[in-house]
Structure 1
Amino acid sequence: MKVLIRGAGVAGLTLAHELAARGADVTVVEKRGEIAGNASWQAGGMLAPWCERESAEEAVLTLGRGAADWWDAALPGHVCRRGTLVLAPARDTGEFDRFGRRTSGFRQLDAGEIATLEPALAGRFGRGLFFAGEAHLDPRKALLALRDKLLGVGVRIEFGHRSGYADVEVDCTGIADRRSELRGVRGEMLVLQTAEISLARPVRLLHPRIPVYVVPRSANLFMVGATMIECDAAGPITARSTMELLGAAYALHPAFGEAELVETGVGVRPAFADNLPRVERDGRNIRINGLYRHGFLLAPAMAGQAADMILGNPAAKEFALEAHR
């Protein structure tokens, strides 16, 4: 079975991994000159299905709860399983209570337990929610490691445009697949660097208008994101978003006020009206799209469904549709 995958973001590379593991002959084509710069490259890398349930359908939890295991098996050593900590300023206790009502899989923490979990935040917050079953990874390291693994098992990754026969072609191009029912959701992020604070896990800081997350990475780096703006324009980050994200980081800990701003980024995430992904087939053409803000969380499940569909599981199409009703 020869399969051509268009798009080397997280959807395309996870599908290539699934297909190669099952014996398919796979070629991935990426129109960019490198595996960088797309929405996947700008992602937070949080594998947090229970937290995402706060604003997402049950399908996101159902399909995403196996993501950490998939990434751990595919790329041993890249997944950090230290959970997610959710906090809110004292003035936003209403948001904190609402988040707890809409989610599950957590235990409540008091100020002392927060300090034990994250010593840098001692004395700053009186209540927290700890989602111990969640995880995170560095998206950029994961994408590059997945690329290297695929090349090592014979998957071809080509840049530019390629034509030629394949038994199946799969479109994983995200927002570049300009179907009318897709919309763009712009996410903006910052990367800060400081040695004055250390965090062991992603921290979500709730706010009624701009809830944000701070994700620790190596070399004293912290990714702060992300806005959700109904817009399909890329372009540079806005001054307003920069100030809001910096303000949120400062609210989490004043040490971020002295951090170096080493990077800003914008990614446009593809979404359908229900914010749920789809695997669709039209003859020998298949599409995986609409991963919205859940790329690394839901790509493994979507890749598994698409691989079943491509390689002849007769129930695959029915399952893929049933999961998103």
Structure 2
Amino acid sequence: MSLLEASSRVAILGGGLMGRLLALALARRGHAIDLYDAQGPAGEGAAARVAAAMLAPLAESAITEPGVVRMGQHGLKRWPELLAQLDAPVFHQQNGTLILWHRQDQGDAQRFFGVLEKNRRINPSLPAMQSLAGAELQACEPALQNRFTQGVYLPGEGQLDNRQLLAALVSTLEHMGVKLHWNSPRELCDFAPGTAGQPDFVFDCRGLGARTQWRQLRGIRGEVVRVHAPEVTLQRPTRLIHPRYPIYIAPKEDHLFVIGATEIESDDMSPASVRSTLELLSAAYTVHPGFAEARIVEIATQCRPTLPDNLPAVRLLAPHVMEVNGLYRHGFMISPAMLDVVLELIDEDGDSALAREFDVAVHRESEHALAAH
């Protein structure tokens, strides 16, 4: 039995990545969708707007759980299918990830790769890392021009352009007749699903906007710099082992690069600090001197919605309400898997084999119990 009858009226709260993907999937099933968001169509309040959108389950296995890694592997297969449903092209590549380090950081690199290898033994479906040196490294990434003597290549990993994706989702939703309510914040208490004149079902995908419902939700601050660097021709996301944290450089189309790293336990949404910006830009310069002449397009900050265990979760409220939250720093990597979990929960009357496969917590709670969280 499905939680949604055919041609149901559905309200979705939160027009970030998860809300847009869910709206598209449900609209394609023939449901009438109203999507509400507190900000505009550009996703100004969404963590998805300030992201590198890397799809890197092996690289991320160093800081997350095996279930999230499995979700990332699922996402690598699902993203081409999801992108094919859009009416505008979105930059997407699967050229792998390159990891580099300076000689003085050799010890940190060895520890990092030890963690990756351990996680690959736990999940043997992950591809093997490939150590590169000399001519092999130069052939993999000619733009490095022998500035590094060693590297490690993680095959199969990918990325996409987050802002192209958000825009393409909006355009497709408009063409499908989804009612988009921008600058229209809503709370769950604004709806009485299943009653006369109300939606049949409500999905809450608001991220940090849902803290009135998820009392333990917190923000993890991230800072990224977007630069235009015509002299740089990196062919894939590149990560640099750093004494304090790994730095990434994600090349998009037309020599646009997203550079980031910082992860701060804070809900602070103020502009990026001078220290963080200098560290990001100086690290990028050590990878390629062409970044010295790059033009800074944007320095942005945002907080990612994070639950105490840093893992995503779904809650089923009676009657006719489902909440999805806690995608943390893995939104683009795991959102296809979370979407498929939600669709399976709908189709199987609140049950999901995928949720068990991915270790996604699915809570079934009464409104009274939720009020105590």
Q: Same fold (TM over 0.5)?
A: yes
Tell me, in whole angstroms, the C-alpha distance in 2 between the residues paired with 1:149 and 1:177.
Answer: 26
Tell me, in whole angstroms, the C-alpha distance in 2 between the residues paired with 1:123 and 1:272.
Answer: 42
**Equivalent in 219, 232, 250 of residue 197 of structure 1:** 232
Tell me, in whole angstroms, the C-alpha distance in 2 between the residues paired with 1:227 and 1:126.
Answer: 26
**Equivalent in 169, 179, 183 of residue 156 of structure 1:** 179
What whole-Å deviation, never above 9, does each CA across 1:116-145 have from its counterpart, x for those lacking one? 111111211122111111110000001111
**Superposed, which structure 2 residues align to 1:33-52 within 5 Å?**
33-37=40-44, 38-52=46-60
In the other structure, the counterpart of 1:310 is: 346
What whole-Å deviation, never above 9, does each CA across 1:82-113 have from its counterpart, x for those lacking one? 11111111111122212222224221111321
What whole-Å deviation, never above 9, does each CA across 1:249-276 have from its counterpart, x for those lacking one? 1121222122111210001001112111
Instruction: Determine whether 1:292 maps to 2:315.
Output: no
In the other structure, the counterpart of 2:289 is: 254
Tell me, in whole angstroms, the C-alpha distance in 2 between the residues paired with 1:243 and 1:322.
Answer: 38
Tell me, in whole angstroms, the C-alpha distance in 2 between the residues paired with 1:312 and 1:154.
Answer: 27
In the other structure, the counterpart of 2:164 is: 141
8 Å Cα contact 2:50/2:300 also seen in 1? yes
Tell me, in whole angstroms, the C-alpha distance in 2 between the residues paired with 1:60 and 1:95.
Answer: 24
Aligned pairs, number: 325
8 Å Cα contact 1:168/1:310 also seen in 2? no
Quote the offset at 1:159 in angstroms.
1.1
8 Å Cα contact 1:112/1:122 also seen in 2? no
In the other structure, the counterpart of 1:12 is: 19
Tell me, in whole angstroms, the C-alpha distance in 2 between the residues paired with 1:289 and 1:321.
Answer: 18
Instruction: Determine whether 1:97 maps to 2:110.
Output: yes
Tell me, in whole angstroms, the C-alpha distance in 1 between the residues paired with 2:35 and 2:301.
Answer: 24
8 Å Cα contact 2:67/2:357 also seen in 1? no
Tell me, in whole angstroms, the C-alpha distance in 2 between the residues paired with 1:267 and 1:68.
Answer: 25
In the other structure, the counterpart of 1:177 is: 210
In the other structure, the counterpart of 1:107 is: 130
Quote the offset at 1:304 in angstroms.
1.3
Structure 2 CA distance for partners of 1:58 and 1:136, relative to 1, 3 Å: same
8 Å Cα contact 1:305/1:320 also seen in 2? no
Structure 2 CA distance for partners of 1:318 and 1:42, relative to 1, 3 Å: closer
Tell me, in whole angstroms, the C-alpha distance in 1 between the residues paired with 2:344 and 2:277.
Answer: 42
Structure 2 CA distance for partners of 1:262 and 1:254, relative to 1, 3 Å: same
Q: Which has the larger radius of gyration?
A: 2
Instruction: Determine whether 1:64 maps to 2:87.
Output: no
Match for 2:337: what amino acid? Answer: A
Which has the larger displacement, 252-261 or 199-208?
252-261
Tell me, in whole angstroms, the C-alpha distance in 1 between the residues paired with 2:103 and 2:153.
Answer: 17
Structure 2 CA distance for partners of 1:89 and 1:198, relative to 1, 3 Å: same
Unaligned runs of 5+ in 1: none
Match for 1:68: what amino acid? Answer: L
Quote the offset at 1:318 in angstroms.
8.9
* Identity between Structure 1 and Structure 2 (%): 37
Match for 1:222: what amino acid? Answer: F
Tell me, in whole angstroms, the C-alpha distance in 1 between the residues paired with 2:230 and 2:296.
Answer: 13
Quote the offset at 1:166 in angstroms.
1.2
TM-score by length of 1: 0.94
Tell me, in whole angstroms, the C-alpha distance in 2 between the residues paired with 1:137 and 1:319.
Answer: 25
Tell me, in whole angstroms, the C-alpha distance in 1 between the residues paired with 2:152 and 2:227.
Answer: 24
What whole-Å deviation, never above 9, does each CA across 1:156-205 have from its counterpart, x for those lacking one? 22213366611211111111211321111000000111211101110011
Structure 2 CA distance for partners of 1:317 and 1:155, relative to 1, 3 Å: farther
Unaligned runs of 5+ in 2: 1-7, 121-126, 192-197, 362-373
Tell me, in whole angstroms, the C-alpha distance in 2 between the residues paired with 1:120 and 1:153.
Answer: 43
CA RMSD, Structure 1 to Structure 2 (Å): 1.9
DSSP 3-state at the match of 2:152: strand
What whole-Å deviation, never above 9, does each CA across 1:18-77 have from its counterpart, x for those lacking one? 222333322211111323222100110101111100111111111111213222112145
Tell me, in whole angstroms, the C-alpha distance in 2 between the residues paired with 1:185 and 1:108.
Answer: 32
Structure 2 CA distance for partners of 1:85 and 1:318, relative to 1, 3 Å: closer
In the other structure, the counterpart of 2:199 is: 166
Instruction: Determine whether 1:278 maps to 2:320.
Output: no
Which has the larger displacement, 284-293 or 21-30?
21-30
In the other structure, the counterpart of 1:118 is: 141
8 Å Cα contact 2:344/2:354 also seen in 1? no
Tell me, in whole angstroms, the C-alpha distance in 2 between the residues paired with 1:140 and 1:321.
Answer: 30
